[in-house]
Amino acid sequence: MLPTKSKSFNPHQTSLVKLQQSAKESPNTCRVGMAVTLTFLVLLCITFTHTFSNVASSHLHGNPTNTNSRTERKMYPEVQKISRRDRQRILVTGGAGFVGSNLVHRLLREGHYVIVVDNFFTGRKDNLHQWLGFDHLEIIRHDVIEPIHLEVDRIYHLACPASPPHYMYNKIKTVKTSTQGTLNMLGLAKRTKARILLTSTSEVYGDPLVHPQKEDYWGNVNMLGPRSCYDEGKRLAETLMMSYHEQSNVDTRIARIFNTFGPHMHPSDGRVVSNFIVQALQGQDLTIYGDGMQTRSFQYVDDLVDGLMKLMESDETLPVNIGNPREMTIKEFASIIQKKIGTNNPNGKEVNIVHLKSTKDDPRKRKPDISKAKRVLGWEPKVSTEDGLDSTIKYFLGEIERLGEIDIVGPLARRTLREEERERE
């Protein structure tokens, strides 16, 4: 009898045999086990998909999910409910800037869909923080000197640095913003058949020989002076607006804005209002360039926004002055701020007013004739300078607490007031 060949032991094979035998013996048990496994996998996929969807949605709307506690929904300012037919798609260039952000706030409150286009050179996303993630607000980082393709019903074209230190920082870029930027917005308005409003400026009157200034005054501008990049840029922008209106039938509006102040001003923009308030709150002397007898007319930003919106919905295609006809000297204005802030500064003592050398081409007088705005728009300012200053001082006090010490920028680009003082020494 031949010896039988011994078989090597294979545990894996043995287990497989046992499983096969078990399946033959108990087919129903195997099927139940497979069903349970499949059910578990399906439930796991559904749970994962639901969790991922919630996280993605929360991040998309600016509200990151907190996995440890229930996420509270962000509260936005109260918004007026309007029908889809009445809701407009409105583009605001420079919408993160001082005037632009105040305009955006009003438009969103009225229920419109707003698209902000800003390159954030002087604009700040902080100005729109209360609306970030809101369904009817879209923010696009873009420079208007480059074309952009959008579908809109209205265009508020505000994009351009407006304070001397900012627009003199890069004069060529300022000119391009006023010219090429305006051309691009007019091209967009022409293609979409949107109405477009240009925020021009009282600087188109230059150092005026006519007082107060009416819209039919042609101005007295030094086209080679340090401010000409802004003054002449806006004058040419007005020319482009009228040319597109007359030649291509584009629906245009032109607002000539006079000195404006209020919340969301850039604390280091070098304008007289922001400089005076920040200096006083930080216990620094208020600096006046020249003898302080040059005059200005200051309007609160809420009044300006009212005027711009009324002009946009009017039938007026020629320029309209939007400003406060109350005229005061810079010295008088500094005294008002000095008295309002008093000793509310780190030094606990009242600040002084000091005079520095006057700047070139600084207009001696500035006062708008707003008879046309009253007649055509039914508009005139409602907020007094003193009441507007109270709100603005409160805003800057919050900015100083948030940002710390703020450098005061002098009238010459690229230099702070401290640097200019050291140079004089």
Catalytic center residues: 230
| Bond into 368 cis (ω within 30) | no
The DSSP result for 236-296, as a single string, is HHHHHHHHHHHHH---EEEEEE--EE-TT--TTS--HHHHHHHHHHTTPPEEEESSS--EE
Query: Pick from 196, 13, 170, 4: which is nearest to 93 by CA?
Result: 196
Question: Exposed e or buried b for every residue in 19-35, given b needs 16+ CB within 10 A?
Answer: eeeeeeeeeeeeeeeee
Q: Are 61 and 133 in contact (CB under 8 A)?
A: yes
298 sits in the region (left: phi over 0; alpha: psi -120 to 50; else beta) called beta
Q: How many CB atoms lie within 10 A of CB 117?
A: 26
Q: Are 100 and 91 in contact (CB under 8 A)?
A: no
Q: Tokens 């545990």 sit at which residue? A: 11
